[in-house]
Amino acid sequence: MRRPVFPPSAAEPVDVRIELVGAEGDGIATAPDGATLYIPDALPDELVRAEKLRRQGDGWFAPHSGVLRTSEARVSAPCAHFGACGGCVLQHWRDAEYRAWKSNLLDAALRRAGFADPKIEPIQVTPPRSRRRMDLAARRTPQGVVLGLHRRASGPSSAQRIDGRVTVPDSPGTICDLTECHVLDPALFALVAPLRSVLTRLQSLRRQASVIANLLDHGVDLLLRTDAALDRADRERLIDFARSHRLVRLSTAPMQGEAEPVVVLQPPRITLSGITVEPPPGAFLQASREGETAILQAVLAGLPEPMPARARVAEFYAGSGSITFALAQRVRVTTWEGDSAAAAALRQAANRAGLAGRVAVAQRDLARQPVPAGEFSGFASVVLDPPFAGAAAQMAQIAAAKSPRVIYVSCNPAVLARDARVMHDAGYTLLAATPVDQFLWSARLESVVTFAR
């Protein structure tokens, strides 16, 4: 346990009213001395007793020791891990208020980018237990292997009193050992307990490991990263596990390095807009089928009309084709993707489907070598779905090329505000903005935004 260093007066409890919920899901209040307090598990207009613990940005992280006046919008969180698990931060908020807050994340991002009074489409919300991608951390402890998500460092259940003061355990490596989950598809969550058991017996897990599991068309594709090399006994244990739980493929890799299949029991395939793709181990997929559908609808709605079949669209950060094949039903697509395995899977799927004349695939590190503006000639639209860090380098080239229509798929409102500012300053207008909540109860938001010159 660590004891934060601060002036003795900083730890005095204060009763404060929560003014709003901030971008990370914490309640925000103002202390009597004018300091901004970030208070987890607190809702607007609630009165809570909070205690400054440590500096956080321009204010203080201040867990509360009790809600003195409860909001009418507070509900019982369905999951026993709420408050400790870092996956969900807003299960305690009523649906109507929660959805309005999620939509406001997109509204606020676009206003920061310079677009006054943006029109936000109705939010598309994915249902509970529909997430088809599982990304877990594992750690060996004296009590056994824990497997789950990292604990929420600012979570109220992380805070404890020691010698009369509130403190929290160090967050690095602290994992919430999952025994239930209201977000994951049941087919994925069913693997957690038996996976924990087999990890306990692996010699290749010395201290830590990670698990990525994708639910494909005919079963689960699992990638295990460990901090030591597998021996023969470990491989046999993993093969038995894959067979017992009917995985389509189980691959392993060092914590940093290329994946190697240990066993393939069925071809690992997923259907994307009617095209069969064999994604690489640990491949990026949209978090849910419902979220993918909502994103595709918004992207296709953003294309200019009329759109001749021979029209060309440039797509950046294409992955294994989550958006590509929906576009290819209407236009010719030239794609760029930085990951070699994903680009190869996309190219192979397009060729097998007879789409070589409509889908061109190029591998390129778009952060280090963005496609220059001079290569945009002839494209009717640009579509991009960048990673969490956004597309700063590529956005500058898109703006310089004066592309007539730009459709940006974002999973990070803060970065969207930065990249959308480039569009605003280059003279683009905002045509549509659709929030898609496929990261249920988290502070993250997917969105599709269409810009036009």
- 139 closest CA partner among 242, 265, 253, 226: 226
Q: Cis (ω within 30 of 0) for the bond into 7? A: no
Q: Is the dihedral of CA 199, 205, 211, 215 positive or negative?
A: negative
The sign of the CA dihedral 438, 443, 444, 446 is positive
Cα radius of gyration (the chain): 24
C-alpha span between 152 and 168 (Å, rounded): 10
One digit per residue, the tens of pLDDT, for the chain of length 453 reads: 343 433 434 468 999 999 999 999 999 999 999 999 999 999 999 999 999 988 988 999 999 999 999 999 999 999 999 999 999 999 999 999 999 999 999 999 999 999 999 999 999 999 999 999 999 999 999 999 999 999 986 444 444 333 333 334 444 458 999 999 999 999 999 999 999 999 999 999 999 999 999 999 999 999 999 999 999 999 999 999 999 999 999 999 999 889 999 999 999 999 999 999 999 999 999 999 999 999 999 999 999 988 887 899 999 999 999 999 999 999 999 999 999 999 999 999 999 999 999 999 999 999 999 999 999 989 999 999 999 999 999 999 999 999 999 999 999 999 999 999 999 999 999 999 999 999 999 999 999 999 999
Give CA–CA dist 115/431, Å, rounded.
Answer: 11
Give the separation between CA 389 and CA 353, rounded to whole angstroms: 32
Contact 275, 351 (CB under 8 A): no
Closest CA to 41 of 159, 182, 131, 166: 159
**Residues paired with residue 435 on neighbouring β-strands, in sequence order:** 447
**What's residue 153's pLDDT?**
65
* Sequence-separated (6 or more) residues with CB below 8 Å from residue 439: 287, 411, 445, 446
Two tokens at 281? 């181990």
For position 154, what pLDDT does the model report? 41
Query: What does the pLDDT read at residue 4?
Result: 41
Residues 6+ apart with CB under 8 A from 161: 167
DSSP string, 268-291: --EEETTEEE-PPTT----S-HHH
Burial of 255 (C-beta count, 10 Å sphere; 0-12/13-18/19+): exposed
CA–CA distance, 92 with 235 (Å, rounded to integer): 42
pTM (predicted TM-score): 0.91
Distances (CA, A) of 136 to 146, 330, 388: 10, 37, 18
The residues near 277 (Cβ < 8 Å, ≥ 6 apart) are 269, 270, 271, 320, 321, 345, 346, 349
- Contact of 54 with 22, CB cutoff 8 Å: no
Give the 3-state secondary structure of residue 343.
Answer: helix
